[in-house]
Amino acid sequence: MSLPLEGKSALVTGSSRGIGRAIAERLAADGAAVVINYARNKQLADEAVKGILEEGGKAIAIPADVARPAEVRRLFDEAEKKVGGLDIVVGNAGVVLEKSFAESSEADYDYVFNINTRGMFFTLQEAARRIRDGGRIVAVSTGGTKMPFAKVSLYLGSKGAVEQFVRSLSRELGSRNITVNVLSPGFTDTDMLLEQYRAYGASLSPFNRIGTADDVAEVAAFLASDAARWITGQNVQAGGGVV
């Protein structure tokens, strides 16, 4: 019995750790040849690749800072050379900053928006130009855009823009049978989840726990599969019932 993504190739940005790594591992387990992208931590990226290879999957690591459009283009160039034309692109690279609106500086704004918004825009742009017909594009946002939180205005604002990118892009790529969706994790056990939100997040879920990276990766794998061919332009919440 063939794997659901056998013969497909996938690129996952920001996938050396956390949710991105779990998504890369899940896509590889489903048969895809996966490109793990990282900005700085080569050791973590190499460990992720090694783990996939040991499980019989296919993976390589390519460094690139998605905040720099030239590096995004190089990332796609190298990915195509090493794994062939891309069928799946998951834009996952992102950062969070906790700071009040009044105290946030220009440098804070640039830091968050350069990665979360500028980086995602040019990742989606390259994906739109290069992904094969029938492909899958997934942009990772956050369930936090549906909820009011203090001191994370830059993070939530940067992700809100991404959600609008996806709504528009999905209309542009439908004629090529390419789906474009947002995946919005809720409170998830990664190093990006601020400590004070762990117990609070668990209390909001009917399951009385926060999510795992693997929980979110399962939803990403569905959106990357043929089973999701009739879903596009949507914001899929993966937050354990927290809305």
Write out the DSSP string of 125-177.
HHHHHHSPTT-EEEEE--GGGGS--TT-HHHHHHHHHHHHHHHHHHHHHGGGT
Q: Which of the residues 155, 158, 170, 184 is marked catalytic?
A: 155
68-112 pLDDT, tens digit each = 999 999 999 999 999 999 999 999 999 999 999 999 999 999 999
Structure-token pair, residue 127: 């994906």
Averaged pLDDT, 196-212: 96
155 is catalytic: yes
- Residue 28 above 80 pLDDT? yes
Q: Which residue has the tokens 């056998």?
A: 6
Q: Is 241 helix (H, G, I), strand (E, B) or coil?
A: coil
pTM above 0.75, yes or no: yes
Range with the poorest average pLDDT among 26-35, 41-50, 135-144, 186-195: 186-195
159 is catalytic: yes
Q: Over pLDDT 90: what percentage of the chain?
A: 96
Q: Which of the residues 16, 141, 158, 170 is marked catalytic?
A: 141
Backbone angles phi, psi at 215, to 5 degrees: -55, -45
- pLDDT in the model for residue 243: 74
Q: Which of 23, 31, 243 has its CA nearest to residue 140?
A: 23
Nearest-5° Cα angle at 115, 151 to 49: 115
Q: Over pLDDT 70: what percentage of the chain?
A: 100
Averaged pLDDT, 22-30: 98
Long-range CB contacts for residues 127-130, cutoff 8 Å, separation at least 24: 127/11, 127/76, 127/86, 127/89, 127/91, 128/169, 128/172, 128/173, 130/76, 130/80, 130/85, 130/86
- pLDDT in the model for residue 138: 99
Backbone angles phi, psi at 102, to 5 degrees: -65, -30
127-178 pLDDT, tens digit each = 999 999 999 999 999 999 999 899 999 999 999 999 999 999 999 999 999 9
Q: Which of the residues 151, 197, 205, 225 is marked catalytic?
A: 197
